[in-house]
């Protein structure tokens, strides 16, 4: 474990890798925006990819059987959630599934209910499809961001509401929904007969001793009316390999989802399949060490920011800190910190301009430099 933990301290020069993260800003700015960590992938993934590349011949490839059982085992062992192999739909990324779902399960003018501020594709998917976006505010309750449940019910009760897009764990803010919270959301979905799309891409990034409860695992009705979206990409830092999957237990819902995607969404890349099998079959030790490292980074950030006017609620999951910078009374918070050499995500991208999102999935030394730059700028 110690050697693995130390490996996350390594600073990797990504400047020649066409990295989205490292190309956005000039060299003097440390990029802390997109959800992409600056860690090397686990050896098991690199070895599996090398082996597949050495085999050569890169023709059309279907989903390997080993991947289906690797996913099933992962979901059973981590979440006690047993799924049928038929319920899986394989995807080259998770975001396209949000757009597919909105188009498959609502019509123009229908309302889509989305708790936010949230990862911008959850709000963009309804807007670009000419649906009505019905946002529900996340409010602070006992040090966590949770949806305002009275507003949630009002939103679901609208006669044109057709579906809920949920992000669990929530990005940004890091909330891990409790089983009771999910049951309350499910009760609304059942009462108003709504489809629930649950984006659970961050579910393997829980930093506290908290369980992740897949929405679909709540009960038979939740399984019947939901689409669960997951991927190894955030956890194992392999987003560039393009693989995600949907779990859709209801055969009719699955058929509609697959019809909407047919011909438009390509099959996943064979290297994405290869990495996913390796990650779920052999990445456990790396995964545990990485979570430990991230939790230490989160605590370091929280301790140092506590001495500044910046407010950060406790991050239960993800490596994305949601920083309330309103007390600094800045005209343009994003630009202010860019000028200080720190490139965070603008809060307005997610729905609140008083906030910034900081990605702490990086070596400690990088995070320390970022915090020092922020402290200096504030002083
Ligand atoms: C909540 C959430 N969903 C989806 C994605 C991206 O998914 P993909 O790269 O598989 O399309 C992200 C990336 O930051 C995310 O935070």
The helix (H) or strand (E) run that includes residue 65 is: helix 65-79
Q: Which atom of ligand 1 is nearest to the CA of 95?
A: 11
How many angstroms from the chain centroid is the CA of residue 367? 21
Residue 312 near residue 297 (C-beta atoms within 8 A): no
The arithmetic mean of pLDDT across residues 313-318, rounded, is: 98
Of the chain, the percentage scoring pLDDT greater than 70 comes to: 100
55-282: CATH topology is 3.40.640
Residue 1 banded pLDDT, cuts 50, 70, 90? confident
Q: How far is CA 364 from CA 6, 182, 239, 263, in A?
A: 10, 34, 22, 44
The arithmetic mean of pLDDT across residues 160-176, rounded, is: 98
2-42+284-378: CATH topology is 3.90.1150
pLDDT of residue 253: 98
Where would I find the beta strands (DSSP E) of the chain? 30-31, 88-91, 111-116, 132-141, 144-147, 161-167, 195-199, 226-230, 244-247, 311-312, 320-324, 342-343, 345-346, 355-359
Count of CB atoms within 10 A of residue 291's CB? Answer: 18
**Can you tell me the distance from the alpha carbon of 16 to that of 10, in angstroms, rounded to the nearest whole number?**
17
Give the tens place of pLDDT for each residue, 200-222: 999 999 999 999 999 999 999 99
Centre of ligand 1 to C-alpha 94, Å, is: 6
The arithmetic mean of pLDDT across residues 92-106, rounded, is: 98
The residue whose C-alpha atom lies closest to atom 14 belonging to ligand 1 is 35
The arithmetic mean of pLDDT across residues 174-193, rounded, is: 98
Centre of ligand 1 to C-alpha 352, Å, is: 19
Residue 54 pLDDT > 90, yes or no? yes
Q: Which atom of ligand 1 is nearest to the CA of 233?
A: 10
User: What ranges do the domains of the chain cover?
Assistant: 2-42+284-378, 55-282
Give all strands of the β-sheet with 355-359 in edge-to-edge order.
Answer: 311-312, 320-324, 355-359, 345-346
Residue 73 banded pLDDT, cuts 50, 70, 90? very high
pLDDT of residue 175: 98
DSSP bridge pairs for 144: 141
- The conformation of residue 40, written as its DSSP 8-state character, comes to P
**Can you tell me the distance from the alpha carbon of 67 to that of 73, in angstroms, rounded to the nearest whole number?**
10
Residue 96 pLDDT > 90, yes or no? yes
Residue 2 pLDDT > 90, yes or no? no
The arithmetic mean of pLDDT across residues 25-33, rounded, is: 96
**Can you tell me the distance from the alpha carbon of 111 to that of 131, in angstroms, rounded to the nearest whole number?**
6
Residue 334 pLDDT > 90, yes or no? yes
Give the tens place of pLDDT for each residue, 243-274: 999 999 999 999 999 999 999 999 999 999 99
Ligand 1 pocket at CB < 6 A: 35, 93-95, 119, 167, 171, 199, 201, 231, 233, 239, 244
* Candidate from 171, 197, 245 with most ligand 1 atoms within 8 A of CB, to mutate: 171
Centre of ligand 1 to C-alpha 308, Å, is: 30
Q: Which atom of ligand 1 is nearest to the CA of 318?
A: 16
Residue 197 banded pLDDT, cuts 50, 70, 90? very high
**Can you tell me the distance from the alpha carbon of 222 to that of 350, in angstroms, rounded to the nearest whole number?**
27
């Amino acid at each position: 474990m110690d050697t693995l933990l130390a490996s996350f301290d390594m600073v990797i020069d990504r400047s020649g890798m066409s990295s989205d993260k490292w190309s956005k800003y000039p060299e003097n700015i440390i990029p802390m925006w997109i959800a992409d960590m600056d860690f090397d992938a686990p050896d098991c993934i690199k070895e599996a990819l090398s082996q597949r590349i050495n085999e050569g011949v890169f023709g059309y490839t279907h989903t390997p059987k080993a991947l289906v059982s690797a996913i099933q085992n992962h979901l059973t062992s981590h979440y006690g959630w047993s799924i049928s192999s038929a319920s899986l739909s394989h995807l080259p990324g998770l975001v396209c599934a949000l757009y597919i779902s909105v188009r498959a399960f609502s019509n123009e003018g229908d309302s889509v209910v989305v708790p936010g501020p949230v990862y911008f594709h959850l709000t963009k998917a309804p807007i670009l499809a000419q649906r009505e976006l019905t946002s529900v505010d996340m409010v602070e309750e006992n040090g966590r961001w949770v949806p305002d449940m009275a507003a949630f019910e009002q939103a679901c009760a609208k006669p044109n509401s057709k579906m809920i897009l949920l992000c669990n764990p929530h990005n940004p803010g890091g909330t891990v929904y409790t089983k009771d919270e999910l049951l309350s959301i499910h009760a609304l979905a059942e009462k108003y007969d709504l489809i629930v799309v649950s984006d659970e891409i961050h579910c393997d990034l829980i930093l506290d001793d908290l369980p992740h409860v897949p929405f679909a695992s709540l009960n038979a009705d939740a399984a019947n009316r939901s689409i669960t979206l997951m991927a190894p990409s955030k956890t194992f830092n392999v987003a560039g390999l393009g693989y995600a999957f949907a779990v859709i237990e209801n055969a009719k819902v699955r058929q509609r989802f697959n019809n909407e995607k047919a011909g438009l969404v390509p099959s996943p890349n064979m290297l994405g399949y290869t990495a996913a099998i390796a990650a779920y079959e052999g990445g456990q030790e790396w995964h545990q060490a990485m979570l430990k490292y991230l939790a230490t980074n989160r605590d370091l950030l929280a301790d140092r920011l506590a001495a500044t006017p910046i407010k950060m609620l406790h991050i239960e999951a993800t490596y994305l800190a949601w920083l309330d910078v309103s007390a600094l009374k800045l005209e343009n918070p994003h630009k202010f910190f860019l000028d200080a050499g720190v490139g965070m995500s603008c809060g307005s991208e997610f729905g609140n301009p008083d906030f910034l999102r900081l990605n702490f999935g990086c070596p400690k030394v990088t995070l320390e430099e970022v915090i020092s730059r922020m402290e200096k700028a504030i002083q």
